[in-house]
Every structure is written in structure tokens, then in C-alpha cells.
Structure 1
Amino acid sequence: MIEPIISKNENVKYILGIEGSANKLGVSIINNEKKILINMRRTYISEIGCGFIPREISSHHKHYLIDMIYDCLKKVKIKITDISLICYTKGPGIGSALYIAYNICKIFSLLFNIPVVGVNHCIAHIEMGIFITKLYHPIILYVSGSNTQIIYYNDHKKKYEIIGETLDIAIGNVIDRSARILRISNLPSPGYNARDDTYDYTELLFFPYTIKGMDISFSGYDYYINKINLTDEEKRKIQICYSLQHHIFSMLIEITERAISFTHSNEVIIVGGVGCNMFLQNMMKKMAKQKNIKIGFMDHSYCVDNGAMIAYTGLIEYLSSTNKQNYNFDNISIHQRYRTDDVLVTWR
């Protein structure tokens, strides 16, 4: 794999990116030199002990999206007619959430005749990770609220190939479910809120550890959390969170090690919202040191869902396309189950 070569295109000056596949709404503007001019985000936070309700996420995005686009344009000091390309999340994601950006893109395309690129959310995480870390042929550990995958680029197929993934629920979903049971806030994240250095965690609580080849399984953790009975309520929460993370992240490290052996890669990057977790990052650093490999992380700005990753990925896809007439009003759509390996990667 080599660094994507993107020629400067005078016809594409400003690119608007809109991300709204789940509870985070992101709007970003970049230029044709891939410089991120602004990257704005608003997050829907549910009440403690409650999950994300699709209709409430949809209402959240609908309420804020136009204002966010206006604020971004104002801060960059341009008008909507100065936008040369619009990129939005086509999928995967929550249907009612995806439809908000979809509808806005339809309107902008119709009113201003701007080409629109539907971007695969997972591919956008990967491309932003490669762009930020400058590691161009990595094993990718993609961990988020809806996805858990081990990925590498298959040069023969011209696709990102999934060589391992969750068999049931995503790792972020496990953490969120556990937070609901323990009544831990999602602001800014359950993993962050569960940290505490005042207790000595020399004894791990029992949790399932299920690996099947290169795939992993996370089902049943809520049962074990409800089953545990410790006297001190706060200590119970902290010890459960520590033990839970130790088990589920160890599974991720193990399949990442296997992927390194299979592909002979000496680079690993972690993308997706769960990639911000310091517990996971520290475990991965130890493995990387033992294997003598390079490892790339991103900060919260680009690891968590954001508009910049959509704008950047849409730009490189658009510039690599031989038929730019496809990016028109009639081809704007959403795909809730748009898999990583469904996308033909024409820009590598």
C-alpha cells in the first residue's frame, strides 16, 4: 500500500463533510490541499441508565445540523455556493439518523448543483487514521459502538478486507450496555468515567473470553455484570469496569497479534470511538513493544465520529473517480448495512 496521491483540482476548492450515522453529529470543511479548516461536532447524550433512542437522535441532528453548517461557513468566511463538493455518511448507521444528512444533501444538490459523495463510515475512519498517523500499510483495529473489525488492505481485490470481527455485538455496545446497568454516565464516555486509581486491582472478576479463530464474541456480559455482588457500590462499579475492559481488550490484542502474523505487517492503527480508550491504548503499546512494530493512535478530535473524516474520504474518492457524473442528485442514498468490504477502493 502506498500513500494516496491526490492531485490538486482547481474545480474542487472547499469540501463540506457531514457525519450523522449515530449519536454524534459532525460538520467539517476542508480545502483541496486536505487542510482541515474547521471540524465541529455535537453529541446526543442520553440520560444515565438509558440507551440511545433513534427518534431522539434524529430530532437532535435535525435541530442542530443547519445551524452547524451555517456556523462552519461563517467561521471559514465562505458561502454555501463556494462549496465545490459535499460528502455525507451513506452508511452503516442508524437509519433515522442517516436520513438527516441525506435529506440536506438532496436539497443542496438540487438548489446549488453541487456534486455529492456518499461515504462509507468505516472506510472514512480508516482513511483518516492513515492520514493522521502516516502509516500507509497497517493492520487496522476498528472498534466503535457499532463495529469491531480487524482489517487490512487487499491490493489484489482493491478493497479493505475484514479478516476478523465480532460474531454478535460490537465492543462499544458492550461498554455502553454495561454503563447502563451500572448507571454510569456516557458523558464524555463510560470508559473515561470508570477510571479510578485509588483501588488495587490485583484480582480480576470472572468474565467470558470467547475467541473463535479470528472472530470474537461479546454476548452475555450483561448477565455476568448483574450476577456480581460486591458490598461497596462504588468499588463494585470500578472493579467491574476494570475487569470488563481487561477481558474484552485482551481479546482484541490477541486477534491483532494473529493478524500481524498472518499479513507480516509491522504497523497497526486503532480507529473508531473506542480507540480513544487509554486502557486499550496502553495494552496495545505493550504488545507493539514486544513485537517491535509501529503503532498509530489519534486524539479525540479524529478518533471519534467527525465530519473531517467524511470530507477527506469523499474528496479522495471523488478525485480518483473516472466518471464524476455519478455523484449527482439521483445517486444520493443511504445503506444501513454498508460493510467495509463492500467498497472498491479506487484511490490506492
Structure 2
Amino acid sequence: MMDFRISSLSEVPALAASLPKADEAARKAALARQNSLTKPPGSLGRLEELAVFMAGWRATARPEIALAQAIVFAGNHGICAQGVNPYPQEVTAQMVANYRAGGASINQICAVTGAELDAVELDLDRPTADFTQGPAMTEAETLDAMNRGAAAVRADADVLILGEMGIGNSTIASAVAAALFGGPVAGWVGRGTGSDDAGVKRKIDAIERGLALHGGKDAMGILAALGGREQAAICGATLAARSRGIPVILDGFICTSAAAPLFGAAPALLDHCLVGHVSVEPGHRRLLDAMGKEPILNLGMRLGEGSGAALALGILRAALACHNGMATFGEAGVSDK
């Protein structure tokens, strides 16, 4: 298969019609198997739904996860000039080094749930522009980040876990969500990495000024005007995964908001995406409701870096273990009547 590339932002909505869809025959076969296993139908709840979901996207009635790839994309943001984050942007590069050294939370969770982790930094020495002064990225910069995200996806992955790191990107996430779905900005803004009340007010003010400056754009235009390179990379990786029939597990508020422009362009572009958990960031539940997504876990987390999505991989593995390993009524000699 040729590498997946995006040549213009305007082509993204039409991809919903051309990219692969779930295999209905495999999905039906998986559902029939679920209903023949030694349990009351539906008794495993969401685990059954996850197994059938995986069957449809992997185009096999009995899907397995040989390779789970996790990617943390990292970028820096010009909006930090507005005092929206209590930490310096040098922390982004320092955390990338921590991922590569194995010292972060995501490393430990991936080790437990069986995911191979990649950390991809995106021009950390060149932050995006301050969106209160102009567009955060040009179309060319947005496409470059999207295609770098797409190129990071392994063709042999069975599931893709997405996360992010970037000082200032909770402001970016709130701005993108507010631009796409509307409503008072304050309802989308949380404390992120630990902003105090004054910091939250600065975030709201910066976002309101950015929305006033960049109003009227379409979904992918919103990504360029208000987003960041790691957000664009998440969009590119999500589309590349779809082109190969690889299901995606999105992480928390920032990661879900990063993929939201694809939903805004065409909701079906996220049909292959699960959401690993619901963050305590106040905008995440609103965002999930707007997108019709139900998270797998709710553990009061707000760390980012793919941690909730990687945890959800353990649930997904358990769902497939039951689906593939349980005996049917006939095999076990158990009466189903």
C-alpha cells in the first residue's frame, strides 16, 4: 500500500466517502459468535461491543492484537506568549526525552498493556504563531504536520493509540472545541497543567480574542488557525490509520479535540475511533457528547500523553480474549435453551 498523504485541507471532507469502512460481514459474524458463547447474550456489555467493533474494522470475525502502536506527538505553541500556562515551553522537549528514556507514566502503562511507544516531536524549536495575532499555522505548515503524523503510523499495527504533549495545548484544545461546537468559552476551559484562577481567565481571554479574529472558518481551517502541530499530526495519523483499517483509541480532552476537526469536516471520518477515557477537564464530556462518543474508562485522569488510551487498550485486549477464547455452547456441551 502506498503511503497515505494529504495534499490540501479542502480534500479532507471527501475522504469520508473514499476511505475504507467497517466490514459488515465480519461485524455480523463476530456478533453471531458473541451470541453463541457460553454466557447470556449481552452479559459482557461493552466488552461485546468492542469485540464486534474490532471485527468490523479489522475485517475478520476473530480479530487479534499482535501490534498495538502508541504515539505521543509533541509540539509548542505561540499562544504561550499570552501567559496561558505556568510552565516554560522547554518542558515539552524535556518530556519527550523522558518518554524516550522510559520514565513517564505512558511508558509504564504501555509496558503493562502491551503497546509499543513512539514519541514524535514536531519542530519544538519553532512554536506555532500566537493565534491572537494571526493564524497559528499556514495551510502548508498544517499539511506538513498532518503528513508527518500519517507517516508515523505503522502499516502492520492492529490498533493505534494516540496521545500528545505540548505546553499550552489545553488552551489550543479549548479554542478548537469552542470554534467547532460553540457555546461560552468558559465552559470549554479547565486548569490544564495547573493554572490558577488568574491563569484560567487569561486562557479564556486569549481564546475569545482568537475566536473573534478567526471566525467563519470551516473545520480544517479552524485546525490551521487555532491548532498546533501535534493536533494536526493526530489528524493525519487518524486518517492514515483509517486508510489501513486500523482502529484508533483517542486519549483525553486535548487528543479528542485534536481529532475533532475531522468530525467537523465529516463525522464519519472518526467512525473507526474509540475514546479511551473521559478526562476531568470540563470540556471533555461536552466534546464527547457533541461527537456522540462514549469513553471506555472514567478514572478521574487528566494527564494526557496517551495514558488513558493506553489503559483502555487493556480493556480492549480483555474483550478480544473473551471473544476469541471462550467456548461456544456447542463446544462446551452446555445447553443454550
Q: TM-score, normalised by structure 1?
A: 0.29
Higher share of residues assigned strand: 1
Question: How does the TM-score come out when normalised to structure 2?
Answer: 0.30
Greater share of helix residues, 1 or 2?
A: 2
